[in-house]
Amino acid sequence: MKKRSFAIIALAAMGLSLTACGNSGSAAKTETTAAGTEMAGEKAAEAKSEETTAAAEAKAEVKEIKGDAIKKIVEDKKEKENYMIVDVRSPEEYAAGHINFAINMPLDTIKDHLSEIEDWKDKNVIVYCNSGKKSGEAADILVSNGFTKVYNGEGVKKFSYDLKTFGNIRAKELMEKAKDALVVDAREAKDFEAGHFATAVNVNSEDPATIDAILPDDKNTLIITHCYSGNRSAVAAEYIASKGYTNVWNCLDGTKEVEYDFSKGDK
């Protein structure tokens, strides 16, 4: 009788041992499955990240743009608002004649001034020079710094552009220099009266007589033109430059695009 009881107890103990082993195996299997799932998730995330990076790099590929296409852009008052044009030649070459609405950012200093066009990182930026070589280098710099829609334009020695001798600046520079400049405001009189720089005079860009009336005797006077979007002011700037004034700048950022602090013009 005692032998039979011992046999039953032994069998029960073996059963518990087998159950415990089975549970342990199940737990190990669950842990392995969880680890595999986590690893698969990480690999999927890495793959997605690589795809996103690859897509971004593909999107940021520098494209070529011909002179006739640039010419059409700058001649269209609305279309030119969709592009920032950057002349990467020297200041001297820029002053001698550049594409309309282009700002000057020489290749040798462009890295130090990228913040000036930071707001154009995801917009169309055209860079150009004389031949396309320096602008090609500049385009690569822009792309490596996160600019996504960069075009290398046909050089001024390869296409017959209508070059301008007045310069172009942006809103920040206008506000920095307004107090030391003659600001030529080409907006309508009602808007001028509602608010303007203290150093500003109001003109009608389509009436040269109104511009002649405000021009100073000193042809080296710093003159900055501005309006709603840079179009009327460009007309005024070109006329003033044609009269022999050598320090004329048009502001590309108009009052429709920037909320100006006109007090910056106070002396």
Residue 8: per-residue pLDDT: 44
Q: Can 129 be counted among the known catalytic residues?
A: yes
Nearest to 70 by CA among 12, 154, 130, 1: 154
* Residue 184 CB contacts under 8 Å (≥ 6 apart), including other chains: 200, 201, 203, 211, 214, 223, 224, 225, 226, 233, 236, 237, 240
What's the confidence (pLDDT) of residue 20?
Answer: 46
Q: Pick the closest to residue 189 from 204, 200, 199 (CA basis).
A: 204
pLDDT in tens, 127-163: 999 999 999 999 999 999 999 999 999 999 999 999 9
Active-site choice (21, 129, 227, 251): 129
| Summary mean pLDDT of the chain | 87
Tell whether the model's pLDDT for residue 189 goes beyond 60: yes
pTM of the model: 0.78
Q: Which CATH class is domain 167-265?
A: alpha beta
pLDDT at 14: 46
pLDDT of residue 49: 54
Nearest alpha carbon to residue 197 among 259, 249, 261: 261
For the residues of 223-243, what is the DSSP string, one character each? EEEE-SSSHHHHHHHHHHHHT
Confidence of residue 35 (pLDDT cuts 50, 70, 90): low
Query: Fold for domain 63-164?
Result: Oxidized Rhodanese; domain 1 (3.40.250)
Amino acid 3: pLDDT: 47
Average pLDDT estimate for 77-89: 97
**Where in the chain is CATH 3.40.250.10?**
63-164, 167-265
For residue 218, pLDDT beyond 80 = yes
Q: Which token pair is 85?
A: 């044009």
